[in-house]
Amino acid sequence: MSDDVREMIIIGSGPAGLTAAVYGSRADLRPLMIEGFEAGGQLMLTTDVENYPGFIDGIMGPELMERMRKQAARFGTEYVTDDVTSVDFSQRPFIVRTSDETYKARSVVISTGASAKMLNIPGEKELLGHGVSTCATCDGFFFRDQELLIVGGGDSAMEEAIFLTKFASKVTVVHRRDELRASKIMQQRALDNPKIEFLWNSVITELVGDGKLRGAKIQNVKTGAESLVEAGGAFVAIGHTPNTALFEDHLELDGGYIKTAGQTTETSVPGVFAAGDVVDYRYRQAITAAGMGCEAAMDAERWLEGQH
């Protein structure tokens, strides 16, 4: 165990964590960021980001994250590329463990984000990465001129379906209801796209392949009718689960998300703060995560001042 007690440890390296790092390092809190093996969060799986203010022509997700990372490093943030395996918030200083190191901190900012939900049906695990994907922007390129399936009726599914039409010959949206959850503008764009078809009231019951996806068994939930649809790729876009398994026994959660007090980033343990998609089930935007990261660093700074 290192005897060095950090003023601030940040767990997770998406826009929330990196903004907390920029603010924390500029406040001389010498943040240590444990960035995880999948550093950078969900924006690493995105191509064009056109709604992050300040980038008139848009910016690629990974480039935006690299810029934030360098900005935080410039003011003294240190990085550890490892996953946190456990925490102990019952003692002071707090303990944060990775597989081979134990760190101590007076304050902790949690910004571990959220992960894609899966269908949990036969074939899905085996074919993930072999035709089944949770990220159209990462993998769409590999499916040129193929017929693709996408599951979900939310904004993510519509956005990904539209994106996939750049490559695919046809995209079929499989949705379990006859009404989309997506915003009206995204719905309209998808419905107007001649390359997108919809299978309403339908669920995929099995993904079929032989080391590579060949198609899917689809069931109409109203009639019970089953069909086998050929497809070169299937994209699962049914939402996300917050990455809070590490904190279940240590912090109060709300529907799986970390609970924060009022408009602050304070968790149920004083000195532990949380920001970004691990808290926010509503907005889930890079810019809102970054805003919360700023709040978390400011909340931590004030809290630390009160302790000295």
Which residue lies nearer to ligand NAP by CB, 286 or 296?
286
Catalytic residues: 135, 138-139
Shortest approach of ligand NAP to residue 227 CB, angstroms? 17
Handedness of CA 194, 199, 201, 206 (dihedral sign): negative
For residue 294, the minimal CB distance to ligand NAP (Å) is: 21
Residue nearer to ligand NAP on the CB measure, 159 or 295: 159
| CA–CA distance, 274 with 20 (Å, rounded to integer) | 10
Tokens matching residue 60: 């690629």
Tokens at 125, concatenated? 């695990």
Residues 18, 302: Cα–Cα separation, whole Å: 19
Q: CB-hemisphere CA count at 13 Å for 280?
A: 24
**Which CB, 10 or 258, lies closer to ligand NAP?**
258
For 240, the token pair is 């996300």
Shortest Cβ distance from residue 155 to ligand NAP (Å)? Answer: 4
Rg of the chain over all Cα atoms, to the nearest angstrom: 21
Nearest residue (CB) to ligand NAP, 46 versus 77? 46
Rule CB under 6 A: which residues touch ligand NAP?
119, 151-157, 159, 176-177, 181, 183, 203, 238-239, 284
* 146 touches 225 (CB < 8 A): no
| Neighbouring residues of 115: CB distance < 8 A, sequence distance ≥ 6 | 240, 241, 243
Alpha-carbon distance 14 to 40, whole Å?
Answer: 5
- Dist CA 271 CA 298 (whole Å): 12
The CB-of-225 to ligand NAP minimum distance in angstroms stands at 17
**Beta carbon of residue 1, minimum distance to ligand NAP (angstroms, whole number):** 40
Q: Which residue is nearest to ligand NAP (CB)?
A: 154
- Sequence-separated (6 or more) residues with CB below 8 Å from residue 121: 204, 205, 206, 207
Chain-centroid distance of CA 46 in Å reads: 11
Indicate the residue type of 54. G
Of 80 and 229, CB closest to ligand NAP: 229
